[in-house]
Amino acid sequence: MALISNLGHVGIICDDFLTMRDFYTRVLGLTVTDEDPDRGSCFLSADPENEHHELNLGQANENRPRTQNVGQVSFIVPSMEALRELDRRFKAEGTTILRTVTHGISNSIYFEDPEGNVGEVYYKTGYVVKQGFSRPIDLEAQTDDDIMSFAQSFEATEGPFQGAKLPVGSAD
């Protein structure tokens, strides 16, 4: 029996709380569900009716140093059009786009937020492709059909999900 059912939320401690708040609300479109301006803290959600917060931002201070060693914060988008809209917004904002790829199972844009944290926005394709896999895509030059066909093609060439390869339950 799994004791954990889902990832609840990610917290980022920020050097510039207001800049980060602006980026995640205005550019990514998250909603502030709760906030404590005196403390420099806010809770944000893409779906406030179903999840109070998926991201918590907090102002760094002497007792709370800036977040370090987070690989990425990833957000699911509902459509390829939403992925394309975020690509346009990132470019209009001058946001650093690290890569735009298909993983077969998803089509993704990896970016840096204003403080250099890596984020990902992705559309789930529904295809079954073993992971640790990515290939570049071009949201400006390729159609949705081209990208989705390309993503699906890796079901045959890369194979299905593999599961654990090492023993689970011990770090020894």
Q: How far apart are CA 63 and CA 113, in angstroms?
A: 23
Q: Which residues contact 74 (CB under 8 A, 6 or more apart)?
A: 119, 120, 121, 122
Report the alpha-carbon angle 91-94-99, nearest 5. 60
Q: Which residues of the chain have pLDDT under 70?
A: 1-5, 169-172
74: which strand partners? 120
Residue 65, pLDDT score: 85
Q: Are 157 and 133 within 8 A, CB to CB?
A: no
Report the alpha-carbon angle 93-98-99, nearest 5. 115
| Strands of 73-77's sheet in order across | 73-77, 118-124, 106-112, 97-102, 135-136
Alpha carbon distances (Å) from 34 to 8, 37, 42, 45, 48: 16, 10, 6, 10, 10
Residue 71, pLDDT score: 84
Residue 170, pLDDT score: 59
24-59 in b/e form (b: 16+ CB < 10 A) is beebbebeeeeeeeeebbbbbbbebeeeebbbebbb
CA 64 to chain centre: 24
Pull the structure tokens for residue 133.
Answer: 């896999």
Residue 167, pLDDT score: 77
